[in-house]
Amino acid sequence: MTDYKDPRKEDIVYGDRRISRPDVQLPDWDIPDGAYRPVPIVWFTGALFAQIFLTGLLFVVLSGASGWLSIFLTALSSGAIGAWTWHRGMGHAGLGWRLATVIMLAFWFGLFALAAIPRL
């Protein structure tokens, strides 16, 4: 009678190859995460950083200009970042990710627009 090892508890080795690992139950030559797979969190984070950096830069550069110009350009940059994010793949992501992205873009736009109100 052959003693079969439990792949959930120990490696199964055949010759010089590991057939399965306890953590994923896959052969060692199969690398399921070896290729880049874009995920919504990457698109969301990219949009967040772009929004914070670009709107912050616009706010500082336009600090001596009219508040209306700052609000207009901040809205324009928020729309451009949103379109860029949707084009990258967020348009096909789940409803939660799309909603979170829109809320985040609107929040940061609102925050910078609120800061520009005293210059109106």
| Same domain? 99 vs 115 | yes
Token output for 86: 């949707």
| Same domain? 70 vs 109 | yes
In whole angstroms, what is the distance from residue 120 CA to residue 117 CA?
5
| Same domain? 14 vs 64 | no
How many Cα atoms within 13 Å fall on the side-chain side of residue 34?
Answer: 5
| Same domain? 45 vs 29 | no
Q: Which residues contact 32 (CB under 8 A, 6 or more apart)?
A: 24, 26
Model confidence at 99: pLDDT above 70: yes
Q: How many distinct helices (H) and strands (E) make up the chain?
A: 3, 2
| Same domain? 29 vs 44 | no
| Same domain? 62 vs 108 | yes
Mean pLDDT of 50-58: 95
| Same domain? 61 vs 79 | yes
Contact 81, 54 (CB under 8 A): yes
What is the per-residue pLDDT for 20? 56
Residue ranges making up the domain that contains 24:
1-33
DSSP 36: -
Mean pLDDT of 69-95: 95
What is the per-residue pLDDT for 103? 98
Count structural domains, the chain: 2
Token pair 């508040």 is found at 67
